[in-house]
Each structure stands twice: as C-alpha cells, then as structure tokens.
Structure 1
Amino acid sequence: MPTRALVFDFDGTLADTESAVLQAWQAIFREHGTELPLAAWYAVIGTQRTTPAMVALLGEHVPGIDPDSLRPGLRTHVLRLLEDLGPRDGVRRYLETAREHGLKLAVASSSSGAWVNPHLERLGIDHHFDAVLTGDLHRAKPDPDLYLAALDALGADAAETIAFEDTPHGVTSAKAAGLTCVAVPNAITRNLDFGQADVVLPSFTAKPLEALLSR
C-alpha cells in the first residue's frame, strides 16, 4: 500500500527542543546543589510527565520546595536557549518532498498546543501541516491516542502512514496505533533502545524521504 500521510512528533524530532529543556532542568538542579540523573530524564522523555517527575525528584533533595517558584526561571532559561534554534537538519527537505508527493502531514505531540504551535510558526514550518494534535487535548504518549487522532484528522489509514519519532515512548505510541515508525534519535536520545521502530536513522539527512516511501 502506498504511503499517503506522514505524522511527526515535535519535541526532539522536528526541532531539538528537548536538549534545551534538559539543560534548563540541569541548571535548576545545580542551583539547588544537586545533579539531575539522566536515567530519570530518560524514563519520562516524550511523555507529559517530565515536569512533575523533575519537581518530585528535586523535592527529594530539597524538601518543601515550591514547584511554582521554579516555573518562571525554567521558562526563561528554555526560551533563551531556543532563540536561535531551527528545525533539525534535513527536516525542511522532508517536508518539502512530502508536499511534492501530495502527502498529508500532521504533528502529534504530547506537549500542549500553547507550546507546539508558536514554535512551529517561529520555525517557519507551520504551513506544511494539515493538522496539529497535542497533549492538552489527547492522552499523551506512550498511549496511541495522539496518533489515532492524527489519522482521523488526516482521513488516513494506519497502513498508509509513517510516523517519525525520537523517543522509545513515541515509537510505542505510533506502533500501538498501527503506523510504520521511523525513529530519528537526537543527541539526547540516540543511546536509547529503539528496537520497536521499523527503521532507525541517525538523522533526516541520512536517507531521503523517497527511499522510505518506496519501502
């Protein structure tokens, strides 16, 4: 069956925002005299549990800390790191090629629309997508709900759709929805287990989209 649609995760896949968020949390932990264990980060990456998990972990080292007191500094740090961030290498070409082939495109992200949509606009790639599905309106990954909603929004079947992910939780979500999944890990996730993915690429520049469409 030919490929008719593509669904992309946002954070870490279309743009490496995850590195900025991790760096901001690492800075907060160090400000409070401790280090953020990467294993704890990997356990929640790609889900909606990142912030609650980090607050709970920090609270183990700094009892009585007020979560609300962390948010302004975290947001400021993240936005500063993201000021000059563009899409990951090869992403624009993938999106352009998809349009040339008449494919439908969607974003499926566990993050909120208030986070995802402004970043898509800032990156200058929002116009490529027919639908943007986010975790404030759907159950977050690894639940398949976001991908099922994306298929519904695009009017596409799972068998004719490819998902692109950068985390094992995301791959689990896409596969549970019945999609073919291409993992494109980033610098933060490249050492994780992507055994569930159908294809693993080191980057979007490693293989042209046409090669995946012809599988």
Structure 2
Amino acid sequence: MAIKAVVFDFDGTLMDTETCAFDAFTGIYAEYGQSLALEAWAVGIGTRGGFDPYEELERLTGGPMDRATIKARFNEVHEANLAKTALFPGVIDRLKEAQRLGLLIGLASSSDRAWIERHLEQQGIRSYFQVIRSSDDVEQVKPDPTLYKLAVEALGVKANEAIAIEDSVNGLRAAKAAGLFGVAVPNQVTAKMDFHDADLILNSLEQRSFEDIIRQLEQNTK
C-alpha cells in the first residue's frame, strides 16, 4: 500500500463551523423558551436534510413560525460566530506536512463551493487544495460516497491510496464506502458519535503527523 493523497472534509474538520451553527440555533431556541438537543442536531451533521431546525422549533412551540425571520436571525448570529472562528489546531501543520511529503491534497464537502472557497481564502489556505468537490458537483451529498469518488478521481489516485479526514459519521461513511481510509477527528458537537468504522480516531490534528498516521495504517493492513 502506498498512500498518495489526503482528502479533507471542511465543516467541523478544518474549522469549527459546526459549533458556530449549533450555538446560533441554540440561542434562537432559547429565545422561544425551548432547548435544542445536540442528539437531534447531530443527525444532520456532514449531510443535508438529516434535521430541520425550523420544523423542530415549530414542533416544540406547537405552531407555524415566521421562518424567514428566524433564518435572518440565524444568519446574523452565525456570521458573528464565524467571525471569531479560526482553523483548528494542527490544520496548518498537517497541510504543510502533506505538501512536504508530496501528498496530493483534496477536499470533499457536503457544503456548497462558494461557502468553502470563501473560508479557505479568508484563512489563507486555498492554495493547498488541488481538488475541491462540493454539493455543487453531486446529486447526493454524504453519506453517499460520490463526493469522495470524484475527489480521488480528480486527484488521479485510487481510493485505497487516499486518506479521508472527517469529523462526522455521515462523512466517515461516505469515505469508507468510496474505499478510502477513514481518519476521524471529532469536534465538540460530534464527540459522542460512534466512529467504530474509522481506521483511526484522533483527538485533534495536532495529535499525530501524517507520517505516523500512514505508518499505522500500513501496519493495520498487513
């Protein structure tokens, strides 16, 4: 086995955008005297359509609500949260290391390309990614494996020559179904998910170098 590429998820993996969104809706729910359960929210992490926070708030309050007003409020709070959010610890180190090792670097995300490009540019890391595949490129997002299949195809490597870095079960399922090695790096809103299918679980991208990760994956496949 020779690992030639690494494909990163975006939301919740490179930046803690997942917590930004969850905290924004948690505050909105509180304004209506309700609580947003993390277990319910987590169903939609890494995919689309898994959980409708507007529908759930209507269920809890017992009636229809002005979704446009709630969405505008969410966007306001979410943007304020995002403005305070930086890259996760270890992201820059791993990107630089991957480049130094000669690994091809891709990104596969269920988010839309404009969202991804915006934040990669703002964080100054866009140039690291040779390939980006987003919801704009597929009919089905994660856990469907198509995003990862398209990413490795565009990188010119076989699926078993690539490592996926994921923070959610939906993302991990997509990567494994596509044939990639799956490294899970949970964040505070995905920490309680069941990552038993992962080839490796890390507390953060600071914990292990790619050299160490590749060495362990090679040992595990012997």
TM-score class normalised by the smaller sequence: over 0.9
Corresponding residue for residue 35 of structure 1: 35
Q: How does 1:1-215 map to 2 (within 5 A)?
A: 1-49=1-49, 53-62=52-61, 63-138=63-138, 139-214=140-215, 215=218
How many residue pairs end up in the alignment? 214
CA contact (8 A) 2:38 2:189 kept: no
DSSP-derived class of the 1:136 partner = helix
Which whole-Å deviations, capped at 9, do the CAs of 1:81-114 have from their partners, x for residues lacking one? Answer: 1113211100101000111111111111111112
Worse-superposed segment, 27-36 or 175-184: 27-36
The 1-side partners of 2:107 and 2:93 are apart by: 16
The 2-side partners of 1:95 and 1:123 are apart by: 13
1:55 maps to a residue whose letter is: Y
CA contact (8 A) 1:48 1:135 kept: no
CA contact (8 A) 1:168 1:194 kept: yes
Give how far 1:206 is off: 1.0
Give how far 1:213 is off: 2.2
DSSP-derived class of the 1:88 partner = coil
CA contact (8 A) 2:110 2:141 kept: yes
The 1-side partners of 2:207 and 2:152 are apart by: 27
DSSP-derived class of the 2:137 partner = coil
Give how far 1:67 is off: 2.2
2:71 maps to a residue whose letter is: R
DSSP-derived class of the 2:52 partner = helix
User: Any gaps of 5 or more consecutive residues in structure 2?
Assistant: none
State the identity %. 38
The 1-side partners of 2:39 and 2:192 are apart by: 12
The 2-side partners of 1:86 and 1:99 are apart by: 21
Give how far 1:120 is off: 0.8
User: Any gaps of 5 or more consecutive residues in structure 1?
Assistant: none
The 1-side partners of 2:95 and 2:88 are apart by: 12
DSSP-derived class of the 1:207 partner = coil
1:31 maps to a residue whose letter is: E
Worse-superposed segment, 177-186 or 127-136: 127-136
Worse-superposed segment, 192-201 or 38-47: 38-47
CA contact (8 A) 1:17 1:82 kept: yes
Which 4+ runs in 1 deviate beyond 3 A? none
TM-score, scaled relative to structure 2: 0.92
2:199 maps to a residue whose letter is: D
Give how far 1:136 is off: 3.0
Give how far 1:210 is off: 1.0
Worse-superposed segment, 160-169 or 187-196: 187-196
CA RMSD of aligned residues (A): 1.2
Rate the CA distance shift 1:135–1:97 in 2: closer, same or farther, 3 A: same
Which whole-Å deviations, capped at 9, do the CAs of 1:158-178 have from their partners, x for residues lacking one? Answer: 010000000111110000000
The 2-side partners of 1:108 and 1:68 are apart by: 30
The 2-side partners of 1:31 and 1:8 are apart by: 35
